[in-house]
Amino acid sequence: MTKLKKKVVVIGAGHNALTCASYLAKSGFEVEVHESRSEVGGMACTREFTEGYKVPGVAHLLHMLNPGIQKWLGLNKNGLEFAANRLKTISLNPNGNALVIDGDHLEGDGITDQHRAEFKSFKKKTNSLARFFRSAYQGRPPRIRTDNKKDLLGLMQTGWNLRTMGNEDMTDMLRFIAINVFDLLEEYFNDDFIKGSLAIDAVLGNHLGPRTNNSVITYLHTLTGEIDGVQGAYAIPKGGMSSYTDALKNSAEKLGVRIVLDSHVERIIVDDNGKASGVKFAKGNEVGADVVVSGIDPKSTFLCLVGARHFEAGFVHKINNVRMRGNASKLHLALSGLPSFNGVDEKDIGQRIVISPTMQYLEQAFDYTKYQHCSDQLPMEITIPSIHDSSLAPEGHHVLSAIVNYTPYSLKEGWDEAKPVVLENVLNTLSQFAPGIKQQILHSELLTPKDLEAEFGITGGHWHHGELTFDQFLMLRPFPGMAQYSSPIESLYICGAGAHPGGGLMGVAGRNAAVELMMEES
């Protein structure tokens, strides 16, 4: 517990920032959160995109909740309930019935016991490897090239965790982090459709194709979380995505955190001694602070809010090179009725639906992205949250929320011109699987990475605040030498997804940052 009640200003009220704020308040800091938007939650919000129709703003599935944080902040007591849990994944099949993935079980056209056995062993392996990452996620990542005892101990711990995985798992781990998900799935499966259905998890929200190295890490990353004890499960919170962040907000406020909305921070004030001493708002007023914590992405934090000239050039160069090429867009549709998808049982329509028939389909769409174009056949992750939560749309009507991958931030032809074309292509792709859907559309919205950048202030519109690749991972996130939440500016910390262990609505970065801050500032 701190003796001195230090004042902490937290910038942004995303889930990591709120988690961080709560932990700090609980250990005796005076915490004030400033959010530029009119609601908390950042990208985990509920958005009324047209009158009477609400959708999850950006993130639409909860799948990486951290049970420790969930319990410690009493999120369930503070209003977090699941409208649906342990969602199945329904992979749409252009040639027949959809593939249904339920935990480690497969069902679908031509699925044999052989396939099921392959899948079981694949799930077992990947879950076990993901648990190694999860263990590394729980604390601050150890720094390399150091003689700090705590860091050395951390490195030893990581090494020990790796070693005690057992010979086979350790060997697989070392092999898998170097290869790509294409080769990994080739090893386990023969069926192209199964491979395609699984590969989308590795690339969604990332600037990667299945054949890009590193794509096994991003796949394992999605398996590090759990929902109510089930590893890698998907859930939809009751009352929309904002109920997760509302629970965080309630918890924070109960702990004494002051949350100020519509409060746009324009600068982090750095005093003559190179210490963060407060923030300046767009409205012109300022507030002083002993400690400033930024929940927004590292690039915006350091280059926009602080400014390059407050740092040494080497630091600026590294932060400038953090890769944040967002390429996921968000599609929102208001529908006059429940759509029906070819080959999908009506009872399964509320599950997590993906369009990713083959790995080639993904790779070809990624090829366009590489050259800053957009394919007319894009992979998607679709949910119809109004099935689980009738408050989201008028009676009988529905909303559809989809993450559309491979829509690059820096599109050659420019988004102003391309947006209607991309939207049309996306709807065409959708109607290949849901033939009547176009007639049901009352209103549509496509939020491109550019839109996401403008609305949520994330550089490049990148969901994870920086590509989750091996060079920007663990102790290398956001870049080597900067992985422990603190910064060269004294009393300035980062707590967002740009810090270890990255994105995914875990809140772990926020908690880890708070723990680090407590040790440094107490």
Partner 1 sequence: MLLQQDHYKKSYYETPFHSRTSELNILNEWQRWKDYTVATNYFRTDLEYIAVRNTTGVIDYTPMVKQKITGPDSAEFVNRFFTRDMNKIAIGRVGYVVWCDAEGQVLDDGTVFHIRENEYWLLCVERQLDNLSISAIGFDVEIEEITDDVACLGVQGPTSCSILKAMGFEGIELLKPFDIKHYDFQGHEIMISRTGFSGDLGYEVWMVNEIALNFWDELFEKGEIYGIKPFGLDALDLVRIEAGLLVPGEDFMVAEFAIRPGSTRSPFELGLSWLVDLSKPVFNGRQALLEEKERGSRHTFVKLNVNGNKPANGSYLYNQSGKKIGTVTSAMFSPSAKANIAFASLHEPWKKGKDKIIAEIYYQKDLEWNRVMEEATIVTKPFYDPERKRITPAELY
Q: Which is nearer to partner 1, 482 or 495 (CB)?
A: 482
**Considering the complex, what minimum distance in angstroms separates the CB of residue 201 from partner 1?**
35
Q: Identify each DSSP E strand in 115-208 by its residue range.
A: none
Q: How far is the CB of 276 from partner 1 (least distance, A)?
A: 12
Question: Which three-class secondary structure string do you get for 334-391?
Answer: EECCCCCCCCCCHHHCCCEEEECCCHHHHHHHHHHHHCCCCCCCCCEEEECHHHCCHH
Q: Pattern of binders to partner 1 over 217-256, x per CB under 8 A? A: ----------------------------------------
Which residue lies nearer to partner 1 by CB, 343 or 480? Answer: 480
- Determine how many CB atoms are found less than 10 A away from the CB of residue 418: 17
Nearest to 390 by CA among 234, 235, 240, 247: 240
State the DSSP string of 489-514.
SBTEEE-STTSTT--SS--HHHHHHH
Nearer Cβ to partner 1, position 184 or 319? Answer: 319
Supply the minimum distance, in Å, between the C-beta of residue 459 and partner 1.
Answer: 14
State the Cα angle at 502 between 500 and 508, rounded to 5°: 70
Q: 11 in helix, strand or coil?
A: strand
Backbone angles phi, psi at 393, to 5 degrees: -145, 155
For residue 148 the two structure tokens come to 């700090």
For partner 1, give the closer residue by CB, 303 or 418.
303
DSSP state of 246: H
Residues 64/355, Cβ–Cβ less than 8 Å: no
For partner 1, the closer CB: 28 or 488 = 488
Task: State the nearest-atom distance from the C-beta of 170 to partner 1, in Å.
Answer: 30
In angstroms, what is the minimal distance from the CB of 315 to partner 1?
Answer: 7
The 10 Å Cβ neighbour count of residue 96 is 12
Q: How far is the CB of 387 from partner 1 (least distance, A)?
A: 48
| Part of the chain binding partner 1 (CB under 8 A), chosen from 272-280, 332-340, 356-364, 397-405 | 272-280
Cβ distance to partner 1 smaller for residue 3 or 145: 145
Question: Which of the 8 DSSP states describes residue 242?
Answer: H
Q: Are 348 and 89 in contact (CB under 8 A)?
A: no
Six-digit token string for 91: 């992979």
Find how far residue 431's CA is from the centre of its chain.
27
Smallest gap from residue 489 Cβ to partner 1 (A): 9
User: For residues 351-390, which are near partner 1 according to CB under 8 A?
Assistant: none
Least distance to partner 1, CB of residue 272, Å: 6
314 vs 473: CA distance, rounded Å = 19
Nearest of 510, 439, 450, 516 to residue 484 by alpha carbon: 516
Q: Which residues pair with 9 in a beta bridge?
A: 32, 292
What three-state secondary structure class fits 310?
helix
Distance between CA atoms of residues 55 and 471, nearest Å: 34
Helix (H, G, I), strand (E, B) or coil at 55: strand
Tell me which of 51, 272, 346, 395 binds partner 1, using CB under 8 A. 272
Q: Which stretch binds partner 1 (CB under 8 A): 37-45, 94-102, 197-205, 266-274?
A: 266-274
Binding mask 436-475 for partner 1 (x = CB under 8 A): ----------------------------------------
Nearer CB in complex with partner 1: 113/147: 147
* Closer to partner 1 by Cβ: residue 159 or 274: 274
Extract the tokens encoding 51.
Answer: 């009158």
CB of 318 to partner 1, least distance (A): 9
Nearest C-alpha neighbor of 464 from the set 367, 351, 333, 326:
326
In 293-319, which positions are buried (b, 16+ CB within 10 angstroms) versus exposed (e)? bbbbbbbbbbbbbbeeebbeeebbebb
How many chain residues are in contact with partner 1, going by CB under 8 A? 18
Shortest distance, position 270 Cβ to partner 1, whole Å: 8
Kindly indicate which of the ranges 270-278, 407-415, 421-429, 505-513 contains the residues binding partner 1, using the contact rule CB under 8 A. 270-278
Token pair listed for 427? 């709807």
Smallest gap from residue 348 Cβ to partner 1 (A): 51
Residue 218 CB burial class (10 angstroms; 0-12, 13-18, ≥19): buried
Contact characters 474-503, partner 1, x per CB under 8 A? --------------x---------------
Binding flag, residue 396, partner 1 (CB under 8 A): no
Our CB check for partner 1 shows the closer of 256 and 488 to be 488
Which lies closer to partner 1 via its Cβ, residue 1 or residue 313? 313
Nearer of residues 309 and 347 to partner 1, judged by Cβ = 309
For the CB of residue 452, give the shortest distance to partner 1 in the complex, in Å.
24
Cβ at position 146, least distance to partner 1 in Å:
13
DSSP 302: I
Residues 282-341 close enough to bind partner 1 by CB under 8 A: 303, 307-317, 320
Question: Which span sits near partner 1 by CB under 8 A: 61-69, 201-209, 235-243, 269-277?
Answer: 269-277
Structure tokens at 174: 């070392």
Instruction: Indicate which single residue of 67, 68, 274, 414 sits in contact with partner 1 (rule: CB under 8 A).
Output: 274
Q: Where does this chain bind partner 1 (CB under 8 A)?
A: 270, 272-274, 303, 307-317, 320, 488
